[in-house]
Amino acid sequence: MADLKANPAPLGLMGFGMTTVLLNLQNAGLFAADQASTIILAMGVCYGGLAQIFAGVFEYKNGNTFGTTAFLSYGLFWLSLVAIKLFAPSGGFSPAFMGCYLFLWGLFTCYMWVGTWKKNRALQTVFLTLTILFWLLAVGDWTGIALITRIAGFEGILCGLSAFYLAAAEVLNEAKGRTVLPVGVVKP
């Protein structure tokens, strides 16, 4: 019997995409924090965190270093973000230090974006928009300018939807055996 393997990337991409959209609906000011925080924290643990960790483990089994690194890292990002929100001291935490946290995630994402340059355009879009999102959020925290965080929120919705699109494309294209949703294949 052949060693059959499924593509775990759509699971990880959907976990990332849906959680990113939900968080950034709040960042964009479309929902107040008190209305959205429980939903975002639950998604951050269960789908943004755990689903990506599972996808990363399966990418490892498939021999995909890029997918392993991306999905495990971003799955753990969501778990760390939830931990920060849950365990912040009663007086809050330093926005400047949170800016450093977000900046470092942006730096990691930027080098991962470089790693997508020979991959499809849809994946490049996910990583480019995520790099921009992290850095906008960092600048928002560093400056305290709410408009920057709001702009980041709208950009983050775009980022999450780009991951959602890529996940849908990978599932539907495989299921139909043809291109239903193009991903912009890069020629070698």
How far apart are the C-alpha atoms of 95 and 141, rounded to whole Å? Answer: 5
- Per-chain mean pLDDT for the chain: 95
User: Does residue 183 lie in a domain region?
Assistant: no
User: Does residue 2 lie in a domain region?
Assistant: no
User: Does residue 185 lie in a domain region?
Assistant: no
User: Does residue 188 lie in a domain region?
Assistant: no
Q: What is the pLDDT of residues 86-138, one digit of tens each?
A: 988 876 778 999 999 999 999 999 999 999 999 999 999 999 999 999 999 99
CA 46 to chain centre: 14
Q: How many domains does the chain have?
A: 1
How far apart are the C-alpha atoms of 37 and 60, rounded to whole Å? Answer: 32
| Cα Dmax for the chain | 60
Q: Which domain holds residue 78?
A: 9-176
**Angle between helices 52-61 and 65-87 in degrees, nearest 10:** 160
Instruction: Look up residue 64 and give its DSSP letter.
Output: -
